[in-house]
């Protein structure tokens, strides 16, 4: 069993920055990667970014490159999502996920565990 605890969401103004955190605990041995997804009201859950836990390589959706970045802290077993220059369209529930599947992909279907989600609201 893997437990993911997310934090860092909140209400901010357009142009502000936030850093989301996701700490993993439990049976994390063999984990292939972790990622961030988001779901806005009325929309499908979509991929944001992920990190390969074995190689430290990262991937981020093209539309968010330059504003968002993913990173990790091995000592804390935590993954972060740095969000800069936030826009109202970034408003969504952001979910952390962990995968034990190979190959590691950006598909939400490849994620085996999910956090509870943290709400990010960006006002204009």
Report the C-alpha gap between 19 and 94 in whole angstroms.
11
Instruction: Give one word for 19, left, alpha or beta, with left for phi > 0 and alpha for psi -120 to 50.
Output: beta
pLDDT at 39: 98
Q: pLDDT band at residue 81, thresholds of 50, 70 and 90? A: very high
pLDDT at 24: 96
pLDDT at 8: 97
pLDDT reading at 74 higher than 90: no
pLDDT reading at 75 higher than 90: no
């Amino acid at each position: 069993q893997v437990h993911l605890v997310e934090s860092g969401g909140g209400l901010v103004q357009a142009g502000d920055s936030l850093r989301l955190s996701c700490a993993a605990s439990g049976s994390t041995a063999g984990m292939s990667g972790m990622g961030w997804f988001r779901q806005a009201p009325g929309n499908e859950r979509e991929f944001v970014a992920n990190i390969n836990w074995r190689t430290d390589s990262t991937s981020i959706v093209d539309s968010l490159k330059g504003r968002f970045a993913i990173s990790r802290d091995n000592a804390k077993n935590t993954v972060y999502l740095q969000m800069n220059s936030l826009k109202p369209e970034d408003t969504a529930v952001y979910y952390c996920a962990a995968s034990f599947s190979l190959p590691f992909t950006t598909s939400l279907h490849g994620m085996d565990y999910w956090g509870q989600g943290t709400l990010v609201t960006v006002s204009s």
